[in-house]
Amino acid sequence: MVRSLRGGAQGHVDKGMVLVIEDEPIIRDMIEDALSQAGFRGIGIGSGGEAMLLLDHPPEGIVALICDIRLGGGISGWVVARHARMMMPDTGVVYVSGDAGIDWRREAVPGAAFLSKPFSGRDIVAAVTAQTSMT
């Protein structure tokens, strides 16, 4: 089940929808808040399984996804991002992790970004903005 949908900040141009796949609610909320302040619409998803179901029939307007690499429940962020790129080839990808950074060059989809936890809201917005400007 999709946890939340947060709209872009009032008065900002709508910069598009960003899927936030993060199993830690506090981090997911921080990311969604930062995206909203920057004019993106965030969809919070708490597991890899939920993300895969949504990505089977993705809603219009997704410009990027932010994906924790180590999600609880068996499906990794690597798998989720590969599936997203299969369904939406031009979608930006930002991986986040506290410990899986050494694998990212080998496992990441082409052109993806990586942020190591902890990171700031400013960091995540900058990474998403860079990813969306590449498409």
CA neighbor of 117 nearest in space, from 28, 45, 32, 40: 28
Supply the DSSP symbol for 60: T
Residue 100 is predicted with a pLDDT of: 64
**Where are the domains positioned within the chain?**
4-133
pTM, rounded to two decimals = 0.88
Write the CA distances from 56 to 2, 50, 62, integer angstroms.
14, 10, 13
* pLDDT tens figures, 10-27: 555 789 999 999 999 999
Q: Which CATH class is domain 4-133?
A: alpha beta
So what's the pLDDT on residue 4? 46
pLDDT-based confidence at residue 48 (cuts at 50, 70, 90): very high
Distance CA 108, CA 60 (A): 24
Q: Where are the beta strands (DSSP E) in 3-105?
A: 4-6, 17-21, 41-45, 62-68, 92-97
Give per-residue pLDDT as tens, 60-118: 999 999 999 999 778 999 999 999 999 999 999 999 998 767 777 889 999 999 999 99
